[in-house]
């Protein structure tokens, strides 16, 4: 029975990892620096012909994502700042610092 449980665990682990690796495919860099994103990855990522993509170096890895996704992420991150005047807050902070310096 223990052998069966160990075998089941091994098969489950392999199945779980194969789902992760199914998102990975080898690609080749062309002579002019072009990379073709395989169709399965394009579908999984929702990439379509004509999409604006942003490529960046992140810790030695090439990361490519839709520009629209980046915009959405930034909007969500700064949504809490809406209704506030960040420039006014910065000026207020600078005046406070200047006042401290003048008092010294």
Q: For the CA atoms of 82, 87, 91, 93, what is the dihedral angle to 10 degrees?
A: 40
In a domain, 42, yes or no: yes
Decide: 70 and 54 in contact? Cβ < 8 Å: yes
In a domain, 3, yes or no: no
In a domain, 18, yes or no: no
How many domains does the chain contain in total? Answer: 1
CA-to-CA dists, residue 45 to 50, 59, 66, 74, angstroms: 14, 21, 9, 19
Give domain status of residue 2, yes or no.
Answer: no
Report the CATH number at residue 51.
2.10.260.10
Range scoring the smallest mean pLDDT among 13-22, 37-46, 72-81: 13-22
Examine residue 8 and state whether it is found in any structural domain, yes or no.
no
User: Is residue 22 in some structural domain?
Assistant: no
pLDDT in tens, 67-101: 999 999 888 887 766 667 778 888 889 999 988 88
> Does the pLDDT of residue 17 top 50, yes or no?
no
- Where in the sequence is the domain holding 94, given as residue range(s)? 27-103
Q: How many CB atoms lie within 10 A of CB 15?
A: 9
pTM surpassing 0.85? no
Query: In the structure encoding, which two tokens stand for residue 70, read together?
Result: 């980046």
């Amino acid at each position: 029975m223990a052998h069966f449980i160990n075998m089941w665990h091994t098969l489950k682990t392999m199945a779980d990892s194969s789902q992760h690796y199914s998102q990975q495919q080898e690609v080749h860099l062309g002579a002019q620096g072009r990379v073709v994103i395989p169709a399965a990855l394009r579908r999984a990522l929702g990439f379509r012909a004509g999409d604006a993509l942003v490529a960046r170096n992140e810790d030695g890895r090439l990361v490519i994502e839709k520009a629209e996704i980046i915009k959405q992420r930034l909007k969500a991150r700064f949504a809490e700042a809406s209704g506030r005047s960040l420039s006014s807050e910065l000026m207020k902070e600078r005046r406070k610092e200047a006042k401290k310096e003048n008092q010294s």
